[in-house]
Amino acid sequence: MTNDLKSFIADIPDFPKPGIMFRDISPLLKAPIAFRHVVNLMAKEVSDLKVAGIVAVESRGFLFAAPVAHEAGVPLILARKPGKLPGDCVRVEYGLEYGTDSLELKHGLIDSDSRIVVIDDVLATGGTARAAGDLVQKVGASVASYIFLVELLGLRGREKLEDGSVSSLVKY
């Protein structure tokens, strides 16, 4: 089924603006067998890495990271937009093409010196994944791997993620 995963991702031209080809994962989420296959592939990779947990990137990364963490039997830690987590948080600000954004982790959920996997749905320019990796490093842990459903090769986001291996199931 791995070669067939592209058939579960719809191409939406000119969204969210002209000239952009949006890769819509909704058909994959609607197909239980395909979704289960993706979760199994990601969970196998996580299990092979023997990590202390998974950092899921808001919000579509949650869709994949939660069942993968369950299958792999490792903790799930959420990387959220500012103001979404209670208590003491660590924050990383990162640049976007049109400004800046931030991600936060709740303090104390990741032990220093642990190895962590970062999971998100799409690797595009790498800015958001890089920010998640920086959060992991900021608390004294390391990124063992970044795992994505889709990678947009032309945007070269992988180049920003040199601190861990990078895996993607579908490449465009």
Catalytic residues: 60, 97
Q: Is 15 exposed, middle or buried (0-12, 13-18, 19+ CB in 10 A)?
A: exposed
Q: Which residue's structure tokens are 């070669």?
A: 3
Q: Which residue's structure tokens are 């950092």?
A: 55
The one-letter amino acid code at 14 reads D
The one-letter amino acid code at 143 reads V
The one-letter amino acid code at 83 reads G
